[in-house]
Amino acid sequence: MRTFFHVQDIGDLKKALEEARAVKSNPFAWKSLGENRTVMIVFFNSSLRTRLSTQKAALNLGLSPIVLNIGQDSWKLETELGVVMDGDKSEHLREAIPVMGSYCDIIAVRAFASLSDRQADYSETILNQFVQYSGKPVISLESATVHPCQAFADLITIDEYRKSARPKVVLTWAPHPKALPQAVPNSFAEWMNAADVDFVITHPHGYELDPRFAGGARVEYDQMKALEGADFVYAKNWSCPGVANPADYGRILSQDLSWTVDEAHMAVTDNAYFMHCLPVRRNMIVSDAVIDSPRSIVIPEAANRVVSAQVVLKRMLEAL
């Protein structure tokens, strides 16, 4: 595997889930695989889970992690080509990426969407420069449009907790005070569409996800109706994807608190589990009562980030 951006990169999902179960039950079984190998973990943005779980996954495989926080540990990097570098950015990605590539065997990158330039974001301009100039396998640790390590961990969690062969999984938009990227819901939709689940998306009008990720999924604009009989409720905020109106890209179109997942929402489900990728804004996205209830599986979901990262790193090491 040379890149991990999309569900297709992991191949057969049943095999990937089997591998995840094997890794989880015996995390140190491949301890020699990463010997004398290095993964460079590069952050353009903040992180708690991704930062820690990727390092832990690497250590489980005997792989040495190097973490670099761009602009804090390093020079500030220019990402635009063709600009006169007379500002505060001392180095260009064009040099920084091949230099980073020369120090490692795998590169993992977090680089959020700008939310101001849909074309650039949906072209994954930063991530693709890592593919083009590093010469190394590249993992998205949440880039402009995708968060595949999160979606894989979500699928592993659903597989562990499902009580029927084909559970109903509902992705619901929920309010947030800041404009957030679409990477998590895009990847969740892409992975759920590929998995053996009954998948429904619910959001206010205007929040339609890009069909490249959500195409084929059922969309129900009535949140309560969408949640009826759900086995899993996956809450997430996202800003306007700009599908219907590109001028609205990255904007907040609604802050309607009636979309906050509370006990009344959960009451219409089939005793559903509550999921969220975290970090979560309590009493905006989800009420205290729901996230603190025994049906909330946000912590085991976050724990599975080690498992998903380890399967991906293991596959990349095996292919080196």
Closest contact distance (angstroms) between CB of 88 and ligand CP is: 25
Q: Which is nearer to ligand CP, 252 or 303 (CB)?
A: 303
Nearest by Cα to 305 from 114, 129, 52, 34: 52
Cβ 143 vs Cβ 109: under 8 Å: yes
* Residues at the interface with ligand CP (CB under 6 A): 47-50, 142, 150, 277-279
Q: Which is nearer to ligand CP, 53 or 269 (CB)?
A: 53
Q: Dihedral of CA 236/8/199/116: which sign?
A: positive
Closest contact distance (angstroms) between CB of 199 and ligand CP is: 20
Residue that the structure tokens 């650039």 belong to: 120
Cβ-count burial of 116 within 10 angstroms (0-12 exposed, 13-18 middle, 19+ buried)?
A: exposed
Q: Which is nearer to ligand CP, 54 or 125 (CB)?
A: 54
Closest contact distance (angstroms) between CB of 87 and ligand CP is: 27
Q: How far is CA 211 from CA 109, 169, 185, 315, in A?
A: 24, 18, 12, 29
Tell me the three state secondary structure of residue 262.
coil
Count of CA atoms in the C-beta half-sphere (13 A) of 137: 21
Interhelix angle 148-161/298-318, rounded to 10 degrees, is 120
Nearest by Cα to 113 from 42, 187, 182: 182
Closest contact distance (angstroms) between CB of 109 and ligand CP is: 13
| C-alpha–C-alpha distance, residues 64 and 52, integer Å | 13
Interhelix angle 93-102/125-134, rounded to 10 degrees, is 50
Closest contact distance (angstroms) between CB of 90 and ligand CP is: 26
Cα 44 to chain centroid distance, Å, stands at: 15
Closest contact distance (angstroms) between CB of 195 and ligand CP is: 19
Closest contact distance (angstroms) between CB of 107 and ligand CP is: 17
Q: Which is nearer to ligand CP, 114 or 248 (CB)?
A: 114
Q: Which is nearer to ligand CP, 48 or 267 (CB)?
A: 48
Q: Which is nearer to ligand CP, 186 or 226 (CB)?
A: 186
Closest contact distance (angstroms) between CB of 142 and ligand CP is: 6
CB atoms within 10 A of CB 110: 26
Q: Which is nearer to ligand CP, 47 or 133 (CB)?
A: 47
Q: Which is nearer to ligand CP, 48 or 257 (CB)?
A: 48
Q: Kindly provide the residue ranges of all beta strands, DSSP E only, lying in 71-155, ordered along the sequence.
A: 77-78, 91-92, 106-110, 138-140
